Structure 1
Amino acid sequence: MFASYAKMWVMTTRRIPAFLRTFCQSKRMLHQVDIEASALLQNNLLQRNNTLYNYGSGTIRCTIFDNVGQYHPIEMKRRDLVSKHELLPRDLRKIERSRKQDLVPSLLVRQNGILISLLTTRALIKPDMVIVFDSVGSGISLDSRTHKKFIQGLELKLGNQVVNKDTLPYEFRALEAIFVSALSNMSSEMKVLLTVCNGILEDLEYSITRDKLRFLLVQNKKLTVFRRKAVLVREMLNDILEQDDVLCGMYLSDKLRGNLRAKDDHAEIEMLLETYYSHVDEIVQTVEGTISNTKTTEEIINIVLDSNRNQLMLLGIRFAMGTLSLGAALWIGSLYGMNLENFIEETSFGFILVTTLGVLCTSWLFAYSIKQLHKLQKMSLAANPHINIK
């Protein structure tokens, strides 16, 4: 028995190194899997951040204007755009968001440039260069008349210093061209919306139809969206006008020459922005007036429809009262026409008596019902003695 136990012990001790080797190999394999998973997770996070900020991958199509207004289209890498022009990676989100409908405008002042996002225009303004990003949105293509008109206006405005000796700095002339284009597009869109909406309101004064009301609802929604867009532009300009450091930082040419502006020395850009602020505020007020007229018309239409429904209800009530009043005459006539003996049949004035009695009962009951209906129609609180007004 001792020999058998010794043999089993020797076999067990021989199996332990093999088990340890298997355990160590499994541990090394798990450690290798953890390292690969960590590397894969790190790569995914890095790719996610690059995708979030659109940084380091792909190119952006843009148009570059020089200091005399000459332009040429190029494709620039995102990494080069951030490194050469001293932008932040998150600034690329504003540029790429133009592919979607982005109604929120912004004007960001950087160390050596101004990044502006206004309606469908995305541009980077520098002291001697303007980069217009061609990824415009809201259905405006690069070959559209609106975009071509904007490019021509920007080229003409940037070349005014050479032709017409414009005294404004280069960056202010670029800003002026962008704001003029944006306000021109807003004014054109506003005129179209107001013309259509006013035409519907005029037609509703003559006849109210279901199609007109549906069309008015659609136009009212478009006016509300347009008003929101104009209000956002006005709020952006108002916020910029309240920040002295931002206004002073927009003097890129002076900053390039080393001339630092005082905190309250920004009269030129302040007057320029206030001019456009007044134009945008006028657009907002005009649109709000039209929306107010539309809501007033809708309320009047609802009042008219309620009045028509009330008249139909009153007509139905009058018919019901007339039917009830005729019930009295029918009841009297049915009593007279029963196959029972009564003293009225023996007289010569029975028919006249029954007819007169039926007419009188019908008239009295109808008049009493109409009188009660008129009392219910009165809306005077003082006429009701049971109501105490304190």
Structure 2
Amino acid sequence: MKPTPQDILNLSLTLSHGRMNGTTELTCTLFNAKGTIETPETRLTKANIAREYKVDGRDLRTVDAVSEGIPHFVIRPSTIFISLFSLRLLVQSDRVLLIRCGSKDTEPHAFLEEIFVTDLQSKLCGNHRSGFPISLPYEIRVFEAALASVTAHLEAEHSLVRREIEHSLKDLQSEDIASTGPRTLLENGKKLVNIEQRARQMRTAVQELLSNDEDLAAMYLTDQQAGRPHAIEDHQEVEYLLEAYYKSHDAIVESAGALLSEVHRTQDAILSILDVRRNQIMVFEAQLEICMLGFAVSTFVAGLYGMNVVNYLEDSPYAFPSLVAGCVMGTLLLARFGMSRLQKFRRMQL
């Protein structure tokens, strides 16, 4: 049923009474200094979050965005805002607020929050597997847990898609090119492009933070609140941490880029083979049409002599074999002429 102007008006009036973006409540989970959940689910507005965590409203501009957005970090005197796709955190020296985005299972980062929670509790309980000292401040360990979650998710996606692509490339060498292999390769290629793009965005975000010494030094919130602010050049631990994850994302970008190049070369080869086969089919169709033209001419001549009119050949003993031989010769000559012209067209060059 086509909507009427009155339907549009009524729906517009209903939607206009909805809440504005600034007063939209966000579902959040609060973790304490031990990594346990202090408040499983609380609803806060952006204004309440900005006031409680002492950040500017513009810092939370993308906190409730529907899209994943571009990864970025915002460093403030008492808070670190982390936005990594669907993982959005407000980190302080003794607590972290996880803003739930409600990602669907079909989205690329649907399980990112779950990975972060598991990794956060593991790191805060002392099971630190990255090689960095457990004596790092709380906010740095939370920051590392966020980076580790995104990196692990990207590496897992890249590993699985790479396995599927390599399997598709292997199948294309042994199967008919007209099978489902090219379509599967195209779908996996699109997934790989998405992974490469997200890894590149993460690498850029980490690189921008590495190039800002003031933000690196300001990330030590615990020492700053204890009256021991770090000098601008005093940020070696955070710098080493970021460099490690920068290299991890750079490796994903390079590996995905190399695999994409191979996929593109394979797709180009498939297109070339399909073009050749299409041309072969067109030539075969032209040959059939030429032969059918010869048969049609012969049939036309035979039809003329088959009419119930006097043609003075009925009494000749050589009429039938002569007519058959003439039709066959005419068909062969016409087919030969058509084939020669077709061959000439095939040899034409620009």
TM-score of Structure 1 vs Structure 2, range by shorter chain: 0.7 to 0.9
1:250 corresponds to which residue?
219
What is the root-mean-square deviation in Å for CA atoms of aligned residues? 4.0
Partner AA of 1:133 in structure 2: L
> How far apart are residue 159 of structure 1 and its match?
4.5
Aligned residues: 321
> How far apart are residue 261 of structure 1 and its match?
1.5
2:4 corresponds to which residue?
none
Partners of 2:73 and 2:82 within 8 A in 1: yes
CA–CA distance in structure 2, aligned partners of residues 294 and 331 of structure 1? 54
2:290 corresponds to which residue?
321
2:77 corresponds to which residue?
111
1:168 corresponds to which residue?
136
Unaligned runs of 5+ in 2: 1-16
Partners of 1:53 and 1:92 within 8 A in 2: no
CA–CA distance in structure 1, aligned partners of residues 328 and 118 of structure 2? 89
Partners of 1:329 and 1:361 within 8 A in 2: yes
CA–CA distance in structure 2, aligned partners of residues 320 and 379 of structure 1? 21
> How far apart are residue 105 of structure 1 and its match?
1.6
CA–CA distance in structure 1, aligned partners of residues 322 and 178 of structure 2? 54
1:278 corresponds to which residue?
247
Secondary structure in structure 2 of the residue aligned to 1:62: strand
Secondary structure in structure 2 of the residue aligned to 1:184: helix
Partners of 2:62 and 2:69 within 8 A in 1: no
Give CA-to-partner distance per residue, 1:154-192, whole Å, 9 cap, x none: 133234499x96343433222212111111122222333
Partners of 1:103 and 1:229 within 8 A in 2: no
Percentage identity across aligned positions? 25
**1:357 to 1:62, Cα distance in 2 relative to 1, 3 A:** closer
**1:58 to 1:302, Cα distance in 2 relative to 1, 3 A:** closer
1:261 corresponds to which residue?
231
CA–CA distance in structure 2, aligned partners of residues 277 and 362 of structure 1? 74
CA–CA distance in structure 2, aligned partners of residues 183 and 108 of structure 1? 19
> How far apart are residue 146 of structure 1 and its match?
6.2
Partners of 1:108 and 1:115 within 8 A in 2: yes
Partners of 1:227 and 1:288 within 8 A in 2: yes
1:36 corresponds to which residue?
none
Unaligned runs of 5+ in 1: 1-46, 382-390
> How far apart are residue 107 of structure 1 and its match?
0.5
CA–CA distance in structure 1, aligned partners of residues 111 and 214 of structure 2? 37
Normalised TM-score (structure 2): 0.72
| Residue 30 of structure 2, aligned match among 63, 66, 78 | 63
Secondary structure in structure 1 of the residue aligned to 2:91: strand
| Residue 154 of structure 1, aligned match among 120, 128, 134 | 120
**1:241 to 1:336, Cα distance in 2 relative to 1, 3 A:** same
2:146 corresponds to which residue?
178
2:102 matches 1:137: yes
Partners of 1:101 and 1:137 within 8 A in 2: no
1:38 corresponds to which residue?
none
> How far apart are residue 255 of structure 1 and its match?
3.4
Partners of 2:28 and 2:43 within 8 A in 1: yes
Normalised TM-score (structure 1): 0.66
